[in-house]
Structure 1
């Protein structure tokens, strides 16, 4: 029997499953469009709008809840779900067999006028809510609930409960089945052992198909203080040379993160988790959680681990201070 596997085993589709989903290269929001697929059958499917905000595809909300689709299938994406971008796709899940997700090609959504809230930006690419429990038509309503309680809903159980209750008042939104969405997304904003959640500057920018988060810091070295931005594996210094990321020249300007020659993305407030650990005696620091764990057995300066948008950065604390907003 034929079998199709994605890289990393994210999903598998056998020949009796709906697969080969093809969407138009460009889709207009709030307008009907059609997708085609192969191996249509009598199973019941849920169709989702998926987004690759951090380079990894995942369902954001469902467009149709439970039906036996025929090819071509007509769908409609609400404009308020998100901004116009080229990282969207259609996903399908077989509810009858419980088989995993199958994705279409990525397409460019035009006419999207939904803006990501600070709550969404702080999730590190994690789902906004359980996509099985959130219709796309209610995404904007749920977004208002999250932003109304921000930033307390990220750290405070009572605020999160208020947000959750608000979610469930939006049309057809159901309780999230995901265990990770039964409480605040971040630890309480206090020092707990060696972990502290602080407010820092964050700039979120789309580069190619990836949405990348930059954390603004100040660095003291040689008696001088510099402003820097940590963007993935790259560190940008104010007044320093630019770095090419996803085909774009990126540098740090006094007013934000500069992309190309004309675009500047301003820093906004974000919660960043810091974890202190020891580094090697020579003051070197690792670039991953494993490096931090290895160096924790050695004496020396403290390092700080930033956890934001699912990425981890380890930097010597002797030359680092979080910029309070």
Structure 2
């Protein structure tokens, strides 16, 4: 069965602004190189008044891309660092991450988005999404897919480590004819099934998804499979170290614009997400 994480995530798409309470700022350099470690700095000082370390324990870092559509949609596409421990909440935290060369084209505009939370990034105790300013991606070798050209994103990024995003993108390319004009939920089955086969992804089998949200029957012979969350953490570009300082982030880094989860997660997602959102909201 799909965990409550996805249900809460989809509900948060509509009411995410209610979760944007903590004042945190995300900073990255003005340019980042492919397959090269860089620092994401998160100012956590403002979290103390919202419960401090008793409430906040971890943070995730996501890759947000500015897509090439005419609206310049910004969408979270994959996870860079999963379940990084915060420790105490004094000063700032910094995580080391890498963006794979095949995650975006050379010259793409990239951002780091952060969610700070207790145990579930889309549960009740979450800071909402905070996103850095845009940086220029150097050394990328990907090509935009047609769904990206149209301002669409594939899925909730927690299920796709950035080391798997190129594979997931190819699924969107391969099955574009199925999903470019969606008439019902079945249009996504091939794309979804393809993504479950990408190493490191943690999507459930399609039959489980349908059974959870649309009252279908789980087919025990369903061949779609997923890897464990531990596998995703191992294969994703997760943090190699976490450091803490007693001062705010350096002024030389790009500063962030704080926005609600709805602003970032809703933008560009396939109409499937909207459909699931309505089904999941009743369970939220």
Structure number, greater radius of gyration: 1
Is 1:108 the counterpart of 2:113 in the alignment? no
| Partner of residue 111, structure 2 | 89
| Partner of residue 45, structure 1 | 59
Q: Which runs of 5+ in 2 are unaligned?
A: 1-16, 46-52, 87-91, 119-124, 211-267, 270-284
Structure richer in helix, relative to its length: 2
Of 154, 157, 160, 2:188 maps to 160
| Partner of residue 223, structure 1 | none
Higher relative contact order (CA 8 A, sep 6+): 2
Contact 1:13 1:102 (C-alpha < 8 Å) held by counterparts = no
RMSD: 3.0
Do the aligned partners of residues 13 and 29 (structure 1) sit closer, same or farther apart at CA in structure 2, a change above 3 Å counting?
farther
Q: Distance in 2 between matches of 1:169 and 1:129?
A: 15
Contact 1:22 1:37 (C-alpha < 8 Å) held by counterparts = yes
Name the SS for the 1:143 alignment partner. helix
Do the aligned partners of residues 13 and 158 (structure 1) sit closer, same or farther apart at CA in structure 2, a change above 3 Å counting?
closer
Is 1:135 the counterpart of 2:161 in the alignment? yes
How many residues in Structure 1 have an aligned counterpart in Structure 2? 168
Q: Per-residue CA shift, 1:156-215, capped at 9, x if unaligned?
A: 655521121110111232338xxxx98xxxxxxxxxxxxxxxxxxxxxxxxxxxxxxxxx
Is 1:14 the counterpart of 2:36 in the alignment? no
Name the SS for the 1:62 alignment partner. strand
Is 1:121 the counterpart of 2:149 in the alignment? yes
Q: Distance in 1 between matches of 2:148 and 2:173?
A: 9
The 4+ residue runs of structure 1 with deviation greater than 6 A are none
Name the SS for the 1:14 alignment partner. coil
| Partner of residue 34, structure 1 | 39
Do the aligned partners of residues 11 and 58 (structure 1) sit closer, same or farther apart at CA in structure 2, a change above 3 Å counting?
farther
Structure richer in strand, relative to its length: 1
Is 1:148 the counterpart of 2:174 in the alignment? yes
TM-score (norm 2): 0.52
Contact 1:119 1:151 (C-alpha < 8 Å) held by counterparts = no
| Partner of residue 83, structure 2 | 66
Q: Distance in 2 between matches of 1:55 and 1:13?
A: 27
Do the aligned partners of residues 58 and 153 (structure 1) sit closer, same or farther apart at CA in structure 2, a change above 3 Å counting?
closer
